[in-house]
């Protein structure tokens, strides 16, 4: 991802969310958030859980799952379902386009201000767009090598 996250403001946002919702501010929840930020990519709940375990920090999968849902409700994580894969999460950042390889599942991100401008100007009755997610499916370079010569 090209964007750097403002980690402090993300953590503050989560604190506000937990306070307002009267959720407990447990160290586990913050450890999960910090790891999600650190991964800096798209991940599913199991990958996030494994990354936390690798730091020898033990939390249950259920805790990871519940915290990911809280983070989604807080508007910090966004959820994408790509094809048959489990739901993938990422820290919210600017509108971007996902290129998903149908064979190996690799996800790439691109930004295209031309498309973004068009999408945000779509005039749909009784609807005002404020963000978007576009997924394009195909084959990545490794799964579909270009002919040379």
Q: In the chain, how long is the greatest CA-to-CA distance?
A: 63
| Alpha helices, H only, the chain | 7-20, 27-39, 45-54, 61-73, 113-120
- When the beta carbons of 62 and 81 are compared against Zn ion, the nearer one is 81
- Between CA 97 and CA 111 the distance in angstroms is 6
CB atoms within 10 A of CB 10: 20
- When the beta carbons of 74 and 101 are compared against Zn ion, the nearer one is 101
- Between CA 92 and CA 90 the distance in angstroms is 6
Cβ 128 to Zn ion shortest distance, Å: 23
> Which residues contact Zn ion (rule: CB under 5 A)?
90, 101, 103-104, 106, 109, 140, 143
Q: Are strands 133-138 and 96-101 parallel, antiparallel or unpaired?
A: parallel
- When the beta carbons of 41 and 63 are compared against Zn ion, the nearer one is 41
Cβ 66 to Zn ion shortest distance, Å: 23
Cβ 24 to Zn ion shortest distance, Å: 30
Cβ 6 to Zn ion shortest distance, Å: 17
- When the beta carbons of 16 and 103 are compared against Zn ion, the nearer one is 103
């Amino acid at each position: 991802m090209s964007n750097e996250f403002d980690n402090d403001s993300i953590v503050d946002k989560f604190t506000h969310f937990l306070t307002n919702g009267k959720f407990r501010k447990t160290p586990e929840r913050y450890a999960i958030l910090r790891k999600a930020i650190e991964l800096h990519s798209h991940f599913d709940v199991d990958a996030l859980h494994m990354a936390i375990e690798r730091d020898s920090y033990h939390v249950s999968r259920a805790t990871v799952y519940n915290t990911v849902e809280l983070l989604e409700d807080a508007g910090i994580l966004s959820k994408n379902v790509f094809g048959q894969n489990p739901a993938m999460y990422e820290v919210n950042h600017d509108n971007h386009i996902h290129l998903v390889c149908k064979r190996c599942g690799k996800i790439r991100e691109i930004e295209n201000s031309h498309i973004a401008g068009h999408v945000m100007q779509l005039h749909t009755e009784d609807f005002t767009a404020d963000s978007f997610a576009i997924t394009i499916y195909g084959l990545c370079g490794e799964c579909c090598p270009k002919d040379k010569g």
